[in-house]
Structure 1
Amino acid sequence: MRKEYDLQTDVLATIVATTPVTKKHADLLTAFATRTDYRGARYVMTRDEFGERPARVLTADGREIAADYRAWIDAQLAAHSGSVRAVWLAHKDAGYQLTEIQPVLHYFVHDRGGDQDNFVQLAVWEEQEFVERELFPRDDRWGLPNADELRSGSTGMALIERSERRTLGAPRYRLKDAIDMQQFTAIGNAAYKAHRHTEGERRLTETDGATGAQRIVTLRELTPGYDQVRWPERRFFDDWTASSAGLAGERACLRWTFNTSDYTDPSDVRYLSFVPQWAHTRKIAELTNTGKLDLYSLYGKLKQLDERVGMPFAWYFYGLHGNLVKSGQMERVLEAAEDGLIVLPEHDYQVLRRWHQVPYGF
């Protein structure tokens, strides 16, 4: 079911799917500008850590047997009473080839300006089909895959007749989603508040360990600072707005992309979240072995990170992400600022102090 914040339509999906893949996505950006509401769309970043997935089944001479490998293999298993060996015996000498798709994911953004979350994020798959191996091994001396492995396309690659990878056709675009981030954050924040309010009112029995006396209290009463906790995703954009990054005119949607999640648990509680993904292209090393550094050297390394990224206070948001900058390093900077050893802009100090009081991250 399409979510309230997902602006994907059949028309938009068709526009994306029928646009040829070109250098720097020039044709796709032109299509966004001339055929959609996202006239200001800009390319942000590409993620290419995704594995191949099975696509089609071909004969040895390239004729299509099945357009959907998984549907075909399910039908084969059903026709052979679920027996992998029976499926293998039926097709092992046919020379069928398995085509696969190598995907990369491109992010584009249509920034509407104003609030930092006022943008549409467009995620577009680029998929290249290729073939490099036969579907079934010619013999079973090393064993056969189980049914789940067969469905996933893992049919014993080391044992299958292989050839050089051969691409099939040109790469193609496919729309993954088009997310109105302002709607996403509004819905997510409201859901978080509602759930936290309900949890806060949950009644518990507190027992005095010394006297054995009991009293009924709410979770809110038992948890210091309960009402200060806010949805991290909302805080990310608010911190950006209040910090040197936002005050310098930097737009979060051009510096980060957002891997969103929307899950409703069995008790009908809805959870929305995202993980920010940096969009920098320059190589930036993780800050390691900083425990032995003095405060000035540590802060200098954080400032160097800002310079490499090209924006002020970038290190704070990388610290929220947690891979390149660690929370302990952020704590040391705050302590140094409070001791007067380094000078932070007041607005950045306040952002860092609020984070220290109620930490969050991704």
Structure 2
Amino acid sequence: MRKEYDLQTDVLSTIVATTPVTKSHAQLLAAFATRTDYRGTRYVKTRDEFGEQPARILGADGSAVAADYHAWIDAQLAAHGGSAREVWRAHKDAGYLLVEIQPVLHYFVHDRDGDQDNFTQFAVWEEQAFVEREVFPRDDRWGLPDADELRRGSTGGALVEQVARRTLGTPSYRLNEAIDMQRFAALAGAVFADRQRADGDRRLIETDTDTGETRIVSVRELTPGYDRQRWRGRRFFDDWSASSAGRAGERICTRWAFNTSDYTDPQGRRYLDFVPGWTHTRKIAALKNTHKLDVYSLYGKLTQFDERIGTPFAWYFYGLHGNLVKSGQMERVLEAAEDGLIVLPEHDYRVLRQWGDNPYGF
């Protein structure tokens, strides 16, 4: 089902899929500019940490056996009573070859200017097919994959025949999603507020351990500042706008890519969220062992960090992410600012103070 914020269409998917993969994505960017309404789209980030995925099956002679690996495996399991061993027995001598896909995910953004969340983000897979092994082990001396492992294309630790790795064809693009981030953020904030309101109304029984007396209270009454809680994604955008980063004209959509999620649990409760990922390509070292530094030296390190990133107050947002800058370092800067030991721009101090009063992160 198409989501409220999803701008993906068959036409857009076809344009992406039929554009050749080129260095720096020049032809894809040109296609966005000339064949869609997203003129000015730019590349921002690549994620290449994904494992290989089974795609299709070839015969030992290279002929086509199955165009969809997963559908073929499901059909074989159904035909053999769900037994992975029986599927193996039926095909172990066929020498079938597994075609796998090596995926890489690229992020592109069409910035509409104005509010920091006013952009469209495109996530596009680049996929290269290759062959390097057979589907089934030749024998069961080292075990066999079970049904779930077969469905995933896993060997389950069994030894399978390897072949010299060769690529098949050229890499291709596939549109994963096209998200109107402003719509996504508005919906995520509303869903969070509705869930927060309902949770806050839940009634609990509180027992005084000394007197044994009980009273009925709401979650809201037991949680100081409960109604001030906001969706963390909204805070991330608002903090950027209010801080030196946004005031300097930096656009959040070129400095961060957003891995979005939309999940409904078995009870029907919906959760929309994202995890931001930085787009810098320079090697940036984490700030380590700063507990040995006085606060002036720590703040100096954070200032140098900003210079390497190229954005003022970048250290704060990287601290929200939690990998290169730690929350304890942020807390030390806040304490030092309030003690008058260092001077932050007033707008940055307010952002940091709000975080200190109600911490969040990703």
Range of TM-score over shorter length: over 0.9
Q: Distance in 1 between matches of 2:149 and 2:41?
A: 40
Residue number in structure 2 paired with 1:58: 58
Q: Deviations over 1:318-355 (max 9, x none)?
A: 00001111110100001111111111111101100000
Q: Distance in 2 between matches of 1:167 and 1:210?
A: 73
Q: What code does the residue aligned with 2:270 have?
A: R
| Cα distance change of structure 1 residues 77 and 293 upon mapping to structure 2, 3 Å threshold | same
Identity of paired residues, percent?
77
Aligned ranges 1:283-322 → 2 under 5 Å = 283-322=283-322
Q: What code does the residue aligned with 2:104 have?
A: V
Consecutive unaligned residues of structure 2, counting only runs of 5 or more, are: none
Residue number in structure 2 paired with 1:152: 152
Q: Distance in 1 between matches of 2:334 and 2:168?
A: 55
Q: Distance in 1 between matches of 2:275 and 2:237?
A: 13
Q: What code does the residue aligned with 1:120 have?
A: T
Residue number in structure 1 paired with 2:239: 239
- Paired residues of 1:56 and 1:98 also in contact (CA < 8 A): yes
The alignment of Structure 1 onto Structure 2 pairs a total of residues equal to 362
Residue number in structure 2 paired with 1:190: 190
Q: What code does the residue aligned with 2:300 have?
A: G
Is structure 2 residue 280 aligned with structure 1 residue 280?
yes
Give how far 1:38 is off. 0.8
Q: What code does the residue aligned with 1:198 have?
A: A
Q: Distance in 2 between matches of 1:184 and 1:154?
A: 35
Q: Deviations over 1:282-317 (max 9, x none)?
A: 011111211111111211111121111111000000
Give how far 1:165 is off. 1.2
Q: Distance in 1 between matches of 2:142 and 2:196?
A: 54
Q: Distance in 1 between matches of 2:161 and 2:215?
A: 72
Q: Distance in 2 between matches of 1:316 and 1:279?
A: 16
Structure 1 stretch 125-134 or stretch 144-153: which is displaced more? 144-153
- Paired residues of 1:137 and 1:156 also in contact (CA < 8 A): no
Give how far 1:150 is off. 1.4
Is structure 2 residue 98 aligned with structure 1 residue 115?
no
Q: What code does the residue aligned with 1:296 have?
A: Y
Give how far 1:245 is off. 0.1
Q: Distance in 2 between matches of 1:139 and 1:214?
A: 67
Q: What code does the residue aligned with 1:42 have?
A: R
Partner SS for 2:292: coil
Q: Distance in 2 between matches of 1:204 and 1:156?
A: 47
Partner SS for 1:291: helix
Q: What code does the residue aligned with 1:172 have?
A: S
Structure 1 stretch 17-26 or stretch 140-149: which is displaced more? 140-149
Q: What code does the residue aligned with 1:138 have?
A: R
Q: Distance in 2 between matches of 1:62 and 1:156?
A: 25
Q: Distance in 2 between matches of 1:287 and 1:214?
A: 49
Q: Distance in 2 between matches of 1:212 and 1:314?
A: 51
- Paired residues of 1:52 and 1:100 also in contact (CA < 8 A): yes
Q: Distance in 2 between matches of 1:194 and 1:87?
A: 49
Q: Distance in 2 between matches of 1:166 and 1:158?
A: 22
Residue number in structure 1 paired with 2:327: 327
The CA RMSD measured in Å over matched residues stands at 1.3
Give how far 1:194 is off. 1.3
Partner SS for 1:98: strand
- Paired residues of 2:203 and 2:218 also in contact (CA < 8 A): yes
Structure 1 stretch 146-155 or stretch 179-188: which is displaced more? 146-155
Is structure 2 residue 28 aligned with structure 1 residue 40?
no
Partner SS for 1:137: coil
Residue number in structure 2 paired with 1:354: 354
Residue number in structure 2 paired with 1:258: 258
Structure 1 stretch 230-239 or stretch 210-219: which is displaced more? 210-219
Give how far 1:89 is off. 2.3
Q: What code does the residue aligned with 1:284 have?
A: I
| Cα distance change of structure 1 residues 243 and 96 upon mapping to structure 2, 3 Å threshold | same
Aligned ranges 1:32-111 → 2 under 5 Å = 32-111=32-111
Moved over 4 A (4+): none
Partner SS for 1:101: strand
Residue number in structure 2 paired with 1:248: 248
- Paired residues of 2:129 and 2:167 also in contact (CA < 8 A): yes
Q: Distance in 2 between matches of 1:48 and 1:198?
A: 40
Aligned ranges 1:130-141 → 2 under 5 Å = 130-141=130-141
Partner SS for 1:211: coil
Partner SS for 2:291: coil
Q: What code does the residue aligned with 2:207 have?
A: T
Q: What code does the residue aligned with 1:176 have?
A: N
Q: Distance in 2 between matches of 1:158 and 1:66?
A: 22
Give how far 1:222 is off. 1.7
- Paired residues of 2:145 and 2:157 also in contact (CA < 8 A): no
Q: Distance in 2 between matches of 1:122 and 1:211?
A: 60
TM-score by length of 1: 0.97
